[in-house]
Amino acid sequence: MEADGDGAATGAPADVPTDVPTDVPTDVPTDGDVPDEAARAAVRVQLLERAPEAVRAKVAELASVAVGHMPVTDLPPPVRAVSRFAPSKRARAGAGPLLTALGSVEGFAASVVGWWTEEQPARWRPEVHDPVHAAAVAVLEGRDEGSILVRDLGERADAARARSERDAAVAKVEKLEGEVRRLTADREQARAAVEATAEENRDEIAKLRARLREQGTRVRRAEDEAAELRAARDAGEGGLRAEMAELRRERDRAREAAAHAEERARRAADGLDGVRRASVEARRADDARLALLVDTVAGAAEGLRRELGLRPGDTGTRPAELVGAGSGAAPKARVTDPAALDRLLALPEVHLMVDGYNVTKTGWPELSLAAQRERLVAAVQPLAARTGAETTLVFDGAGITGVPTHSVRGVRVLFSDAGVLADDLIRSLVGAEPEGRPLVVVTSDRAVVDSVRRSGAHPVPSSVLLGRLARI
């Protein structure tokens, strides 16, 4: 065995740890004892599989340094790309391909060892003791004693990891013990606070219990009163139901009497004047049974026309067109919603009369009077066209020049004469209509409402008409 200048055996790694077992061989075998490359490769593969991560990283670092100085053509194909990495990242980024090639590519590990022993022998076996470096050299050289170094380092790593885990567990236990002590102290403080609060609140609890008992007494008294009220309500409802039943019977008797009276009036209608005939014609539209008598009625009407000397063109003249300025039936209920107004306007031969300024000053008070009139006419015209109702708008004529005398787009527009109120003109229109014809008067004037209701017309508030016009 040859020795270097320091007397150390050239075959023994200089950085083998001092606490390695004494039975580890440190001399380099002679030429007759050197194992072949296949045996070294097998040992190397086993050592790489069992080596701790620190040893594998050191092996990759030594291989990366050699790869950076070896010809690319001498490198295995997977390692050639690693050789082009920067030296600072070659060992870290190329560790996988390098370790794989060391264990699987024949001759690659020997080339790495050869480069180190020839180019960097001092760094290959430095004098400074480093167990990780010594184990990495033994792995690369494929020496059996490397297993002892690897095992020792693994045991050291396991021991260090166990110590670290123990220290962490001890620290955690100490932390938990401190937390337990803190929580115990907090619990004692909370218990003391609860006891103090309970002592302070005993009087308040007693007062609240007394108040609850008082409230319970009041509740029971209120329940008794409510029971008495319910009993009185039930008794009142019984009497009310009896009164309602009696009212229904009276209503039915009144309807029956009205039907008899209507039948008698219908029999007497043949000999009456044109007003009675107009009433019969108004009822004809909602009575399908009279359809069979149309021809007979038409013949009778023609005979009456000849007898009364009426001109053929008179059929288009309406009573509202004959009223200038000037004036019962059963009072009608006041309409309060647009749906009820629609039902009235669906009646046959219905006549809609509108107190013009009463409506426009309710809906558009910010406009001038002329603009109000124009807007009302434009708004009412579609409603008249849709329902087919005869429609008359009545305005005060004071201060109006150039009063129109014809209908505007199917809507009749009337202005009262000088010194005559529109209210009086509306009353005259209602009084000019024959009995039995459906009449609808739109106004919020209480005096007009009362008078037209007594005359048999249906009063409608201005706001109801405005609500209906807003839906068009």
pLDDT digits (tens, 9 = 90+) for 239-253: 888 888 888 888 888
Predicted TM-score of the model (pTM): 0.35
| Each residue's pLDDT tens digit, 423-462 | 999 999 999 998 889 999 999 999 999 999 999 999 999 9
Task: Write out the two tokens for 31.
Answer: 């030429």
Q: How far is CA 92 from CA 75, 138, 352, in A?
A: 18, 21, 99
Helix segments in 76-127, DSSP class H: 77-83, 87-93, 95-104, 108-119, 121-124
Q: How far, in Å, CA of 413 to CA of 392, rounded?
A: 6
Please check whether residue 150 is in contact with residue 47, taking contact to mean a CB–CB distance below 8 angstroms: yes
What is the layout of strands, in order, in the sheet containing 458-460? Answer: 412-415, 390-395, 351-355, 439-442, 458-460
pLDDT at 403 over 80: no
| Each residue's pLDDT tens digit, 26-79 | 343 433 444 577 777 788 877 887 888 888 888 888 888 888 888 888 888 888
Q: How far, in Å, CA of 222 to CA of 326, rounded?
A: 64
Element containing residue 415 per DSSP (H, E) = strand 412-415
- How much is the mean pLDDT over the chain? 77
